[in-house]
Amino acid sequence: MKNINIKDLARELNLSVSTISKAFHDSHEISEDTKNRVLETARRLNYVPNPYASSLRGRRSKNIGVVIPEVADSFFSLAINGIESVAKEKGYHVLICLTHESFENEKNILKEFQGGRVDGVIMSVSTETSESGHILDLMANGLPLVFFDRVCEEIETAKITTDDFESGYKATEHLIQQGCDKIGFLGISKCLSISNRRFEGYQKALNDHVVAYDTKHTVSCTNDAAHNAALIKELLQRKDHPNGIVATVEKLTTPVYLACAELGLSIPGDLKFICFSNLETASILNPSLSTITQPAFEMGQMAATLLFKSLEKTSFSLSMESQVIPSSFIKRNSTD
């Protein structure tokens, strides 16, 4: 019933606790014979060491924190898989904390992390995050941090991003080449670097190809799905509505499709649509969806790899290690 601990084991084997502990860590001080006896008895008694006790003395938790806005999103869930794959290899656990796009939540989570709950942090900031004091506090406490996707540009540390500017450019250019001359942009949060970079790419493409830029065709979406749907519908029912749209996040796909259906607009006839998305169902939508697809798994993997490098040797400077992994443009029927 009750969990057995290292003392019980010591009593059972007539050894000291220190010997047991050393045997588990394969110390050279302990004879092979004793090690085997210890391991065997541990298995027999089903001994599992208490990770918190180890953390306490060892001053590391063997946990990394992953702070993300949301888990019900293909990009983030794939990124988690990437992070988890390397954490597992290193014998670490992953503590996933969701901000639900709330700055308040984000602050609280990072604050808690300063108590020693995790040894390092991988994060993608919330849409509400416009200042970075809470992040600097965390780092001042000696915790290494790696950003992925949604970064704080002003903070000096590793940032794993994709080529947001180029992708925004490419998506927009594609719409132009497909004949669009009124191109809308659905962003999220003006604070968010990725949204801004993609927007800059969008603007540059319009500029380079001498297509008019209309402020009214830029919509800043929020975390409120109903509100976004209303904004999108409002955009599309104007009589000079865009005939092409670039959307920056996966969750905007459904509202755009539904608004078109409701308003009797055909995709791609009346509106060509391309979205930043990792949705597996992109290829079977009606019509299939042209996407900019981010290397989600790889980004997670890379972020974790860098974080562990910095955990393994403190001399390793994260600030020199940012990486940009390109996204892929996948043409499908929504931009025919």
Partner DNA sequence: TTTATTTGCGAAACCGTTTTCGCCAATATA
Partner DNA sequence: TATATTGGCGAAAACGGTTTCGCAAATAAA
Say whether residue 190 binds DNA (CB under 7 A).
Answer: no
Residues in a beta bridge with 276: 292
How many beta carbons lie within 10 A of that of residue 162, not counting itself? 26
Say whether residue 284 binds a second copy (CB under 8 A).
Answer: yes
Sheet holding 145-148, edge to edge: 93-98, 63-68, 120-123, 145-148, 159-161, 323-324
Size of the site for DNA (CB under 7 A): 32
DSSP state of 289: P
Stretch that binds a second copy, among 119-127, 136-144, 186-194, 211-219 (CB under 8 A): 136-144
CB 225 within 8 A of CB 215: no
Residue 62 CB, shortest distance to DNA, in Å, is 10
Binding residues for DNA restricted to 38-57, rule: CB under 7 A: 47-50, 53-54, 56-57
- Name 62's Cβ contacts closer than 8 Å, sequence gap at least 6: 51, 54, 55, 91, 92, 93, 119
Place of tokens 């047991």: 20
Residue 143 CB, shortest distance to DNA, in Å, is 14
Say whether residue 268 binds a second copy (CB under 8 A).
Answer: no
Residue placing its CB nearer to DNA in the complex, 239 or 313? 313
User: Amino acid identity, residue 315?
Assistant: S
Residue placing its CB nearer to DNA in the complex, 16 or 286? 16
141 binds, among DNA, a second copy, none (CB under 5 to 8 A by kind): a second copy
Cα 322–324–326 angle (5° rounding)? 170
Place of tokens 């704080």: 152
Residues that bind a second copy (CB under 8 A): 1-3, 46, 48-53, 55-56, 61, 71-74, 77-78, 80-81, 84, 93-98, 111-112, 114-117, 137, 140-142, 251, 253-254, 257-258, 261, 279-281, 283-288
Residues that bind DNA (CB under 7 A): 3, 5-7, 14-19, 21-22, 24-25, 28-31, 33-34, 47-50, 53-54, 56-59, 115-116
